[in-house]
Structure 1
Amino acid sequence: MQLAAVSEDQTRNAWAPLLEMLREGPAVDEYPGLEPLDTFVSLPKGRIEFVTSAATSREGNRPVFCVLDQTEEWRPSNGGVKLAATLRRNLGKTNGSSIESPNAYLPGEGSVAEDSAEYWKRIVEGRAKDDGLLYDHREADAGTDMANRESLLAGLRYVYGDSADVAGGWVDLERIAAEVWDPATHPQDARRFYLNQITHASDSWISQPEWAGVAAPAKVVGPGEEIVLGFDGSRRRSKGVTDATALVGCRVSDGHLFAIGVWEQPDGPFGEDWQVPTLEVLSTIEDAFKTYRVVGMYADPAKWESHIAALEAKYGRRLKVKATLQHPMEWWMTGGRSNLIVRALEKFRSSVVDGELTHDGSSVLTRHVLNARRRESRSGIQIAKEHPDSPRKIDAAIAAVLAWQCRVDALAKGLGKKKSAKAGRVVVLR
């Protein structure tokens, strides 16, 4: 059995109490042959040892159980990602298992903890071929107000659970609250280390607490309701991971966003030579027009010009919200429209921060929104992937922005207003 970390000091945070429990507890008397030494523990069969990324090689070991401690710090730069891969390969030889014990990771660092969370998301979305991962993350509610004592203590009580002093544990929550309120504590660090919230990278467009704060998965958009659509499409790339294609709806009356369809290249060999299923995408759009009362659709037509033109010819007359008279659906997110793009992005972000919109909690929509990074331009803030070849896509976020812009324009035309219960037919008598 191996206890692993990226540095010896980090490993000893768990190694020292392990030795103390084995030496001072009943284990020595109950297990003949158990010998807790400073650098390893001798067992009747086998041993417990600690390992770090500084080790020359762990390849070929045959552990049956590994503890990967503080994997939010296991990054490519310090050898942590390579160490995790080696340990897991070794465990596969013995049908062994491992457990990670991280704090909340920082998105965008490429840590082992972040990779494990992404793997869990793929399982939830049905995109993983194997589901052999138990993921247990205890995070304070996104609405936790760190400036409000009652709200903060409630969040801390939930996160610390049985270890909180109010539950008979050893953690003084008032002392933790004092650390949160210390002016030297950065708010993002407070959320990450004390509330266990996965916040955001330094250049994130929207933070995880902001987005989670407007989630409303209980809301349902029913057939026949008045909605608008946002669409962002892609085609096969010659290299790298193909961008996703996304269709997002937004109810006009209350601004509730919901993912209708997101098509992404599968991971690994299953994604080789993958292309966006064009006919399936178009069929989903057709179904949306049949199911809901679609009053507008904004689409970035890049690489989908002919398909968008065909949709305009078929549905353009019935749309009450139009991008232009000539092209009612075309809403370019590229080209010489930077001022319009910046304003649309700012409207969307402000609506999230101010709680003016809600979303269905879709894991794929959430992932794409949180993947978006801020990028400065002459016109203002725009968004992009962390780097051009990144496999972390943002296409569903773009589709959501387009749907929201279409909804804003729909409201400007007087759509989405609830009809008065008293309204009825007018009869004129002569």
Structure 2
Amino acid sequence: MDFPTLFIVPDWIAQHCRIRSVGGVDGSPKPFQMYDWQLRCTAQFYRVREGAQVGELATAFYYRRAQVVAPQKSGKGPWSAGLVAAEAIGPVLFAGWARGGEVYDCRDDGCGCGWVYEYEPGEPMGRPWNQPLIQITATSEDQTDNIYRPLQAMIRDGFLAERMKVGEQFIRLPNDGRIDVVTSSAQSRLGNPVTFVPQDETGIWTEGNKMTKVATTQRRGLGGMQGRSLETTNCWDPSEDSVAQKTAESKQTDIYRYHRTPPKGLSYLNKAERRRIHAFVYAGSSHINLDSIEGEAAELLEKEPAEAERFYGNRIVAGMGAWMQQDQWDARNEPREIPDGTRIVLGFDGSDVDDWTGIRAETLDGYQFTPVYGPDRRPTVWNPAEWEGQVPRLEVDAAMREMFDRYEVMRAYCDPPYWTSEVAAWQAAFGEKRVTEWHTTRPVQMHAACEQLLTDVVKAKTGFRHDGCETTSTHVRNARKAARPMNRYVLRKAAVHQKIDLLVCSVLAHEAATDAVAAGQAKPKRKSKMLIMR
């Protein structure tokens, strides 16, 4: 590791925590030696901030909290249990920088195992909490067992029993510390001060089951005690707006996120490609038998294909009715520079105070991108919440006019609601043949345009590529099919707060590009000849 961290923590866990191999020939408990991915996440979670001072608690660390997204049965539960044990009685707080010769001796903290750890010069040192207060949290008791059961086994089989007394719903620790189990149906302990909170399967924590409130309440309690939290989860359905999704999409930089996503473009429905996906996401979890995983995944695929891919393929995929899976869109990410003067088309979708407004561009050879404008080179995406609650119309107008100045805009398809006056002004400035009102409320035309883009993205050997705009990728993921007569559909949001506006811009831009190519506007310009009369 090229950063300071409490290396003592994984060593302490290996010394004090014992696990048994399930189904192995030798069922005796062995020291918990972490897999590479577990060790990497542990080192990141206990990464110490440069310049940390003795006496600092959470603020001594580089990350305030962490999220680990890993597939079913990969080892999240036992790893979390090991961290809970360390947070309960181990040296998990920053205790200064070693100068050389310092040691951590378990006997100083009342442990009789005799273990001694010698620090290297410059290494951050650790100490235990004085009164640790920990809440293992999940939606149900069965879910908390993912962490609580391996923790109980670690206490029984190792050196932890001397100082940790196990009960049905809690574990008593020295100095009146304790480890509690909290579920959605037993939230009476919420609001209590806490020092560490492992939150399991936050991919199913939603407003509907009241777990979103649980998460925010616990974080307030952690803030008061300068404690930290750890989320572990399978992938989530992006239409549910789970706690895991909020964490993954947060722009805060003091959250450590670990999510090993499989190579893009591999189909989970193809058995050979599914095997490659499993081999990638389960790499390093040596207890996993890929044949066993394949059997479970194949059976779940029969009825819940999206769930199978989330659980075992470690991909964020939507359930039934999704317009396109996000990884299919992301697989076409191939950024490139588009020089001024290039022939392009534009797609514009506008709103006023709720939905977003955006412009997407596409070259006539099938490369789509979000342009930038103005002196600050801002992307042509406007979220009303970032502009005092209303889309800045003068900014949008300036951006649209800059597109016509910088590029050779062949066509601009604009959805006119809320923007009729602006579209009319653009038609007056650039011509009605170049600026067209394109109503997305027409089911026949909208269905055909959506199907055209969908086909050109997912078909084999497609030439369609895009710039990897993260906002557009998210809006693609949020889109669902809203049924219309004659087996047609239009686009709708998965939920009110999940926007799709940049996808609509992409549909309009691709429709404009398709029409421009069909009209012969992609052909090279004919060179003019000058005839000189003698």
- TM-score norm. by structure 1 comes to 0.83
Structure 2 partner of 1:352: 457
Structure 2 partner of 1:209: 327
Q: Aligned-pair distance for 1:196?
A: 0.7
Q: Deviations over 1:224-278 (max 9, x none)?
A: 2211100011113xxxxx111010011112x111122110133xxx77x511111
Q: CA RMSD in A?
A: 2.6
Measure, in 1, the Cα distance between the counterparts of 2:302 and 2:454. 28
Structure 1 partner of 2:410: 295
- Alpha carbons 1:372, 1:394 under 8 Å: kept: yes
Q: 2:479 aligned with 1:372, yes or no?
A: yes
Matches within 5 A, 1:328-347: 328-334=435-441, 337-347=442-452
| Structure 1, unaligned runs of 5 or more | 124-129, 164-168, 237-241
- From 246, 260, 264, give the equivalent of 1:142: 264
Matched to 2:157, the amino acid is E
Report the CA distance shift for 1:35/1:416 in structure 2 as closer, same or farther (over 3 A): same
Matches within 5 A, 1:31-430: 33-45=163-175, 46-118=177-249, 120=250, 123=251, 130-146=252-268, 148=270, 150-163=272-285, 169-182=286-299, 184=302, 186-216=304-334, 218-236=335-353, 242-253=354-365, 255-260=366-371, 261-266=380-385, 274-316=389-431, 322=433, 328-334=435-441, 337-354=442-459, 355-378=462-485, 380-386=488-494, 390-417=496-523
The size of the alignment, in residue pairs, is 388
Q: Deviations over 1:18-38 (max 9, x none)?
A: 11112212344xxx6333444
- Alpha carbons 2:443, 2:489 under 8 Å: kept: no
Q: Aligned-pair distance for 1:350?
A: 1.7
Measure, in 2, the Cα distance between the counterparts of 1:290 and 1:58. 62
Q: Aligned-pair distance for 1:312?
A: 1.3
Measure, in 1, the Cα distance between the counterparts of 2:522 and 2:158. 68
Report the CA distance shift for 1:426/1:305 in structure 2 as closer, same or farther (over 3 A): same
Q: Deviations over 1:114-150 (max 9, x none)?
A: 22233x2xx1xxxxxx443222222212322345555
Report the CA distance shift for 1:145/1:373 in structure 2 as closer, same or farther (over 3 A): closer
Q: Sequence identity, in percent?
A: 35
Structure 2 partner of 1:166: none
Report the CA distance shift for 1:222/1:175 in structure 2 as closer, same or farther (over 3 A): farther
- From 25, 32, 56, give the equivalent of 2:158: 25
Measure, in 1, the Cα distance between the counterparts of 2:151 and 2:524. 64
Report the CA distance shift for 1:382/1:296 in structure 2 as closer, same or farther (over 3 A): same
Query: Highest CA radius of gyration, 1 or 2?
Result: 2
Measure, in 2, the Cα distance between the counterparts of 1:308 and 1:145. 41
Matched to 2:430, the amino acid is Y
Question: Residue 514 of structure 2: SS of its match in structure 1?
Answer: helix
Report the CA distance shift for 1:148/1:333 in structure 2 as closer, same or farther (over 3 A): closer
Matched to 1:352, the amino acid is V
Q: Aligned-pair distance for 1:97?
A: 1.4
- Alpha carbons 1:23, 1:36 under 8 Å: kept: no
Measure, in 1, the Cα distance between the counterparts of 2:227 and 2:179. 14
Indicate the larger mover: 378-387 or 279-288: 378-387
Q: Aligned-pair distance for 1:92?
A: 1.7
Question: Residue 370 of structure 2: SS of its match in structure 1?
Answer: strand
Measure, in 2, the Cα distance between the counterparts of 1:184 and 1:402. 35
Measure, in 2, the Cα distance between the counterparts of 1:12 and 1:383. 41
Measure, in 2, the Cα distance between the counterparts of 1:414 and 1:428. 30
Q: Deviations over 1:278-320 (max 9, x none)?
A: 1111111122222222111111121111111111121227xxx
Measure, in 2, the Cα distance between the counterparts of 1:358 and 1:274. 33
Measure, in 1, the Cα distance between the counterparts of 2:464 and 2:391. 30
Q: Deviations over 1:314-357 (max 9, x none)?
A: 1227xxxx37xxxx4211223xx332222112212222221452
Measure, in 2, the Cα distance between the counterparts of 1:33 and 1:27. 6
Measure, in 1, the Cα distance between the counterparts of 2:172 and 2:504. 57
Report the CA distance shift for 1:419/1:155 in structure 2 as closer, same or farther (over 3 A): farther
Measure, in 2, the Cα distance between the counterparts of 1:24 and 1:244. 56
Measure, in 2, the Cα distance between the counterparts of 1:258 and 1:293. 15
Measure, in 1, the Cα distance between the counterparts of 2:298 and 2:525. 48
Q: Aligned-pair distance for 1:419?
A: 8.1
Measure, in 1, the Cα distance between the counterparts of 2:457 and 2:446. 17
Structure 1 partner of 2:126: none
Measure, in 2, the Cα distance between the counterparts of 1:251 and 1:82. 46
Report the CA distance shift for 1:332/1:361 in structure 2 as closer, same or farther (over 3 A): same
Measure, in 2, the Cα distance between the counterparts of 1:401 and 1:300. 11
- From 8, 11, 15, give the equivalent of 2:144: 11
Question: Residue 6 of structure 1: SS of its match in structure 2?
Answer: coil
Matched to 2:164, the amino acid is L
- Alpha carbons 1:5, 1:69 under 8 Å: kept: yes
Q: Deviations over 1:210-234 (max 9, x none)?
A: 2223222x33323222111000111
- Alpha carbons 2:352, 2:384 under 8 Å: kept: no
Q: Deviations over 1:149-196 (max 9, x none)?
A: 553332212211210xxxxx1101122223333464643232111111
Measure, in 1, the Cα distance between the counterparts of 2:172 and 2:401. 66
